[in-house]
Amino acid sequence: MMVLNAQVNHSACSSLASLESYWHITRATLKSGIFRTFMSGALETSQPVWSMRQQVLDSYYYVSYIFRIPPELKVIGYDYGYILVLQPPPIANVSGVSIAAQGDGNITLNGSLSYDPNADNVSPLTFTWFCRRSYEAFPQIDPLPIVDVPNGNASASGGCFGFGPGRLSSIESVLIVNVDQMEAGQRYVFQLVVSNGEKSSKAIHWLTVKRKAFFIR
pLDDT tens figures, 172-200: 999 999 999 999 999 999 999 999 988 89
Q: Mention the CATH class of domain 2-85.
A: mainly beta
Fold classification of 99-210 is Immunoglobulin-like (2.60.40)
Q: What is the pLDDT of residue 99?
A: 96
Residue 147 φ/ψ region, left for φ over 0, alpha for ψ in the -120 to 50 degree band, beta for the rest = alpha
Distance CA 48, CA 66 (A): 10
Domain with CATH 2.60.40 in the chain: 2-85, 99-210
Distance CA 127, CA 209 (A): 24
Nearest to 136 by CA among 159, 169, 162, 167: 159
pLDDT tens figures, 48-86: 776 765 556 678 888 888 888 887 778 888 888 888 888
State phi, psi for 40 to the nearest 5 degrees: -70, 150
pTM value is: 0.70
- Average of per-residue pLDDT across 5-29: 77
Name the pLDDT band for 134 (thresholds 50, 70, 90): very high
The DSSP symbol for 169 reads S
